């Protein structure tokens, strides 16, 4: 294999169409090539027999087909018959590494995948922000993570288990790489392909990039949307998440309301409780004010210890008081139990990668139910 040639799987579907058009071939050849790359997962142009020998020759002279690989795998014991939480160090064709996480609950098996190598946003509670930003992942590198985790399940459990959900909650900010993320989602939701998902089983998590949220809404997003809020007090949120200075809460709220109207879908407001920081009665009151006008649910999560980051998780009793104040205001609240802390695979802990939300089936509470 000629490693000096670009990886054709790094191209978006539009980019692939441009290549085929440049060869003077009919447009449908791009769809055929895409299917063989991502559904059949061909690794050699010679194997793509649906294309002419001449076209295969042109492609192989300009491009290579390369895929990501698993460099390391760490497990945390599951309970009973439950699958273990498993963290994967994934090596991209150029040697760049990210981390992906597999988490199972009673009713689902979720792949938590990365969209960037590193992250430029420097949230104070996340180890990934300490790493800085390396680069965006390509559509092929995003889908490869999903395929690798599903391959692991099929191999380990003799094809009796497969992925049911995908969350973009790993390394990086998905909406700083929107084009590639959406291109990967188009591939992963293609019902004609051998391995595909419903858009309802995919969640994009963002820190709240207002223009991109509006864009998703106007495009009629088929996926779920989760927003890392962590405080509904502007100054406090800025201290936790510097990006909040660029996209203040008032603008974020307006964008989420527009997303609700455009898609008819709820959003999830993720709120990590930090002891003495955002867990006080005034924090709960402001969260209620922010959320009341939105079609949303609140997802309360615990802080997971990270070396050299000085936050503490909230005590159970304080968390219950905080949650009760939200419920008494008529909000829908879920509380998720984190898995993977012992292998640094829980929220914000990934060292070579980002911070996925690794959860079991949520316990859901609502005074309206």
Please report the pLDDT score of residue 206 as a whole number: 98
In the residue annotation, 112 being an active-site residue is answered as: no
Which homologous superfamily is 69-366 in? Aldolase class I (3.20.20.70)
Residues of the chain with pLDDT under 50: 340-341, 343-346, 348-351, 353-369
Please report the pLDDT score of residue 308 as a whole number: 58
Please report the pLDDT score of residue 316 as a whole number: 86
Domain extents in the chain: 8-62, 69-366
Q: Do domains 8-62 and 69-366 have the same CATH topology?
A: no
Please report the pLDDT score of residue 79 as a whole number: 57
In the residue annotation, 119 being an active-site residue is answered as: no
Please report the pLDDT score of residue 132 as a whole number: 85
Task: Name the token pair of 207.
Answer: 């820190």
Q: Are 85 and 343 in contact (CB under 8 A)?
A: yes
Please report the pLDDT score of residue 358 as a whole number: 32
8-62: CATH topology is: DNA polymerase; domain 1 (1.10.150)
Q: Which of 119, 123, 296, 347 is catalytic?
A: 347
Please report the pLDDT score of residue 349 as a whole number: 43
Q: What is the pTM of this model?
A: 0.89
pLDDT in tens, 261-274: 999 999 999 999 99
Please report the pLDDT score of residue 339 as a whole number: 52
Query: For the chain, what is the mean pLDDT?
Result: 89
pLDDT in tens, 219-273: 999 999 999 999 999 999 999 999 999 999 999 999 999 999 999 999 999 999 9
Q: Which of 25, 99, 173, 360 is catalytic?
A: 99
């Amino acid at each position: 294999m000629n490693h000096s040639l670009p990886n054709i799987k790094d191209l978006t579907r539009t980019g692939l169409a441009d290549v085929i058009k440049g060869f003077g071939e009919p447009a449908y050849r791009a769809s055929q090539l895409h299917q063989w790359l991502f559904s059949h997962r061909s690794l050699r142009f010679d194997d793509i027999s649906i294309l002419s020998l001449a076209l295969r020759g042109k492609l192989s002279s300009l491009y290579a087909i390369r895929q990501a690989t698993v460099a390391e795998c760490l497990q945390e014991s599951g309970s009973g018959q439950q699958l273990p939480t498993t963290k994967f160090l994934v090596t991209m064709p150029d040697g760049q590494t990210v981390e992906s996480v597999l988490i199972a609950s009673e009713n689902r098996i979720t792949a938590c995948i990365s969209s960037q190598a590193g992250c430029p946003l420097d949230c104070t509670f996340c180890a990934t922000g300490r790493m800085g930003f390396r680069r965006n992942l390509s559509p092929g590198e995003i889908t490869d993570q999903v395929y690798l985790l599903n391959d692991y399940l099929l191999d380990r459990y003799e094809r009796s288990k497969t992925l049911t959900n995908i969350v973009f909650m790993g390394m990086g900010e998905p909406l700083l790489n929107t084009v590639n993320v959406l291109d990967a989602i188009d591939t992963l939701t293609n019902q004609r392909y051998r391995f595909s998902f419903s858009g309802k089983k995919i969640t994009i998590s963002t820190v709240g990039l207002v223009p991109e949220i509006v864009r998703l809404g106007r495009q009629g997003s088929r996926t779920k949307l989760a927003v890392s809020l962590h405080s509904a007090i502007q100054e406090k949120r800025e201290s936790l998440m510097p990006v909040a200075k660029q996209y203040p809460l008032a603008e974020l709220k307006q964008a989420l309301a527009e997303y609700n109207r455009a898609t008819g879908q709820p959003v999830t407001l993720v709120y990590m409780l930090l002891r003495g920081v955002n867990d006080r009665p005034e924090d709960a009151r402001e969260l209620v004010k922010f959320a009341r006008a939105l079609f949303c649910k609140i997802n309360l999560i615990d802080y997971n210890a990270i070396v050299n980051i000085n936050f503490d998780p909230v005590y159970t009793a304080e968390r219950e008081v905080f949650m009760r104040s939200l419920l008494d205001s008529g909000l829908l609240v879920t509380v998720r139990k984190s898995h993977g802390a012992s292998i640094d695979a829980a929220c914000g802990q990934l060292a070579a990668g980002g911070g996925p939300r690794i959860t079991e089936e949520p316990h859901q509470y609502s005074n309206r139910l």
